[in-house]
Chain A
């Protein structure tokens, strides 16, 4: 029998390991109440956020509620193939991207400009009053915002149409005319969010060293030059961060707002991915197909955030994470 050579055991490290294992155990026991505190929250995230992620597998099945996830038939990529071959879906994707474009090119710069204007206001009294007024719409639900605009633009007795008639124009059916859907959508977005959007910019402007302005004035810079050479460069990081977040929500325009504006007359331009998922999924019972659409949307969002974040970092900015 061959002699078994036992390698010299690393006694010291082993002891250390068991010691630190004990140490961890002790730490866990000492923090047991903290784990109790985290448990309900963790359970919430597992049930309502991670279980639905598991539920995404029904997009590879022909899901039948009666059979459940485990009992339904697998169909591979069928629903995803359908997605890209159905003209309906391509139209919906286009609608979604157009609204996203409006958000990026029209809405996005407005809070920045508003914040710069508010910052240039002398005297805190008016600054505070204007801010308070501008914040209010953010606290109104989309239902309220849409309702207010509807009573204003309705054909019978809406103030806007009355004004149009007063100035000698024709009445416009804003609600049913598809070409008014996009303008109404973006005006409502601006009305509700532009004021609130200034908060974060104002906060970062407040952090700018006043000495910089002092120096610029010494060099003879006027108000506009100070804004251009000091304020805007100072808030560049915040602008980029918010831009990344906005890009990440590319297909996530908010179900509520669009759903409220949607009707059978403007469906051609107003149907977006979110509303389509609702109609196809919950109204028509095409669970698997609409889950596939939602899955597609989530993945695009994730990819966009990661990509834009990477680009921002390459450009020497901080990025979101």
Chain B
């Protein structure tokens, strides 16, 4: 578009830029505040109020939270669930999406409808809980993965992506003696890397952020993922009383310690973010196409 060089045009551009810059700043400042706060001492945090770069550096908070193995264990659970969960979900989603992407498959419409319908109507929390319980999944790590193994939304995005791959490729592979598994793994998946990367990211973020399924299905605190631990340390200790759970004898942790736990729980996502960022914008657009 040609630049509008009139006074009005320039004023508009300047105001627009400034507003957006302020909004972007507001978006990141809270997190920068927390990161900076986690790397300083409680005394310094109390004295200097808002720090963007700590004047006094200190790793005390991190030393403290890693002095017991509670955080390590929770991190381990989260990493494990994220890796295994993403793989399982991706595998099941890709298989189903590919099957349903083939137009000559009898019955695909019925299955498609069954999937879409679950997005419009569902049994709800209690009946789902009862199914999970009947299957004996309560208090197992599997309960964090299996009950949410496939997202209907992700499956439909991937199915649409597969449908856009020219059918000729598949036909010729078939003539060369490939069966459907061969076509999927040797031809379709390698051609779909942007979509696979995007949806893997979506799944990975969901698993890393697992909270609700954990409080629903895990009674044993030794199995808690990091998000549930974060709630115990920060949310419940901030003058909230969800009754039970938190031991009243333990004094509420320092601000710096709470901040350090927040950073630890966020870090993995922030590390993947730059790598996958270019993919997910594209992926979200794929998702916006009609199923």
On A, residues with C-beta under 8 Å from B are: 24, 27-28, 31, 33-35, 37-38, 40-42, 44-45, 47-56, 58, 65, 114, 117-118, 120-122, 126, 129-137, 139-144, 146-152, 154-155, 157-159, 162-163, 166, 173, 175-176, 191, 195, 199-200, 203-204, 210, 213, 217, 222-224, 238, 248, 255-256, 259-260, 262-264, 274, 277-278, 281-282, 287, 290-291, 294-295, 297-299, 301-302, 305, 320-321
A282 lies within 8 A of B216 (CB): yes
Cα of A295 to Cα of B13 in the assembled complex, Å: 50
Tally B residues with Cβ within 8 Å of A: 102
Q: What are some 30 contacts across the A-B interface (CB < 8 A)?
A: A28-B106, A41-B95, A41-B150, A42-B114, A44-B149, A47-B135, A50-B118, A52-B124, A53-B123, A54-B127, A117-B19, A121-B20, A122-B3, A134-B23, A143-B230, A144-B230, A144-B266, A147-B230, A147-B234, A150-B234, A154-B238, A213-B1, A256-B212, A259-B212, A263-B240, A274-B125, A294-B124, A299-B121, A302-B120, A302-B121
CB of B236, distance to nearest CB on chain A (Å) = 9
Cα of A22 to Cα of B171 in the assembled complex, Å: 22
CB of B146, distance to nearest CB on chain A (Å) = 8
- Pick the contact of A139: B13, B129, B273 (CB < 8 A): B273
B212 lies within 8 A of A255 (CB): yes
Residues of chain B with a CB closer than 8 A to A34's CB: 98-99, 102, 105, 180
Residues of chain B with a CB closer than 8 A to A54's CB: 123, 127
A33 lies within 8 A of B130 (CB): no
**With known contacts A132-B277, A141-B211, A151–B265 Cβ distance under 8 A:** no
CB of B173, distance to nearest CB on chain A (Å) = 13
B96 lies within 8 A of A126 (CB): no
- Pick the contact of A143: B130, B179, B227, B281 (CB < 8 A): B227
Cα of A191 to Cα of B155 in the assembled complex, Å: 28
A260 lies within 8 A of B92 (CB): no
B285 lies within 8 A of A263 (CB): no
B241 lies within 8 A of A27 (CB): no
- Pick the contact of B121: A135, A144, A175, A301 (CB < 8 A): A301
B205 within 8 A of A: yes
CB of A318, distance to nearest CB on chain B (Å) = 8
B128 within 8 A of A: yes
Cα of A135 to Cα of B284 in the assembled complex, Å: 12
B150 lies within 8 A of A45 (CB): yes
A152 lies within 8 A of B30 (CB): yes
Cα of A150 to Cα of B181 in the assembled complex, Å: 50
**With known contacts A40-B92, A222-B8, A255–B265 Cβ distance under 8 A:** no
A40 lies within 8 A of B122 (CB): no
A33 lies within 8 A of B180 (CB): yes
B45 within 8 A of A: yes
Cα of A210 to Cα of B1 in the assembled complex, Å: 7
